Amino acid sequence: MKHLKLLFITPIIFSTLLWGENIIQMPIKKPVQSRDTTFDIYGVGAKVDADHASHEGVGVMLDSEKLKIKLEATGDFFKSGLILKLNPFDDYWYFKGGANYLNKKMYAPDNATAKVTQYSGALSAGYMLKNDFYMELGASYTTLDGEIFSPTYKITGEDTKFAYLEAAKRWSISFGTIDAIANAGKVDYEFKPDETSCGAELDLYPADNAKIGVDYQYERSNIIRGYSAQYAFLFVQRSDNLSLHTYQVNMGIKIAFSDIFDTSTWRAPSKIKPHLSELHRFEELVFGTNMSILSSRGIE
């Protein structure tokens, strides 16, 4: 797979980003719970078309509170995404920016294929009402480039806009910690009526190094259901598009580190519970929704 060669530049990219993360660290008024920064390596299994077989590939990710970057490749696609979080004022306000690039093989009804390109940008702002409760407002803008499959079939280029409002609450309970998240928003398509979007997520942390999660995102023509689990360095994630009858499964390891260039600091993650401002709707939008082709007309 020609896109897999791009993964070889990962150490250089991560070195630059790790240096950049130290630069953007800013003082805050009060400490927050820290979690381990990890480097993730995982296998990818994805079915991108209901009528064609799934394909396998590989993914890597740098995952910290301030900075996240993800690269994935299979025989059907190359995906990349980045998220940057800033606290320029204090710990109560925060801002996030995200960007994507997607190159995906798509199949026409006559079995003609074409590589389709899509890219996007996203912004959000959030406010911590309490240590265990926050609100966030976010939006994204996605551009799909049109492509001709054959003399009969094509996909039309279009722009898609998302906006959402999210609330998240954390509870400490006798057997761990529960995060509950709810969001609602609007999807503005170019060639069909706008749709309402809503979703919910529930994450259980029975221990500092263990997690079980489930999430559900609803639009009339794009229903997503997801599951995730992690214990120490092992993790698995599955996302099903119930509308398109497609899925993606990621399974691999997370390596915590204090210095990525010093292997003696590598270890299994022991603190995986995130700050409440991360790993929810914005992250799902950048690393999930916008990493799938968004077309109101489809192949026609």
**Which of 87-101, 111-125, 164-178, 222-236 has the weakest average pLDDT?**
87-101
Q: How many domains does the chain have?
A: 1
Given a cut of 80, whether residue 23 has pLDDT beyond it is: no
Establish if 299 belongs to a structural domain: no
Establish if 102 belongs to a structural domain: yes
Q: Which tens digit of pLDDT belongs to each residue from 136-193?
A: 999 999 999 999 998 899 999 999 999 999 999 999 999 999 999 999 999 999 988 8
Q: How confident is the model at residue 96 (pLDDT cuts 50, 70, 90)?
A: very high
Q: How confident is the model at residue 97 (pLDDT cuts 50, 70, 90)?
A: very high
Mean pLDDT of the chain: 87
Q: What value does the mean pLDDT take over residues 192-209?
A: 94
Tokens describing residue 236: 């698995």
Q: Is the dihedral of CA 217, 54, 83, 159 positive or negative?
A: negative
Tokens describing residue 214: 């489930």
Q: How confident is the model at residue 123 (pLDDT cuts 50, 70, 90)?
A: very high
Establish if 237 belongs to a structural domain: yes
Instruction: Give the domain extent around 156.
Output: 2-291
Dist. CA 1–CA 13, nearest whole Å: 20
Establish if 182 belongs to a structural domain: yes
Q: How confident is the model at residue 26 (pLDDT cuts 50, 70, 90)?
A: very low
Establish if 184 belongs to a structural domain: yes
Q: How confident is the model at residue 33 (pLDDT cuts 50, 70, 90)?
A: low
Establish if 297 belongs to a structural domain: no
Q: What is the CATH number of the domain that holds 47?
A: 2.40.160.40
Establish if 296 belongs to a structural domain: no
Establish if 164 belongs to a structural domain: yes
Query: 258-278 b/e with 16+ CB inside 10 Å = b?
Result: eebeeeeeeebbeebbbbbbb
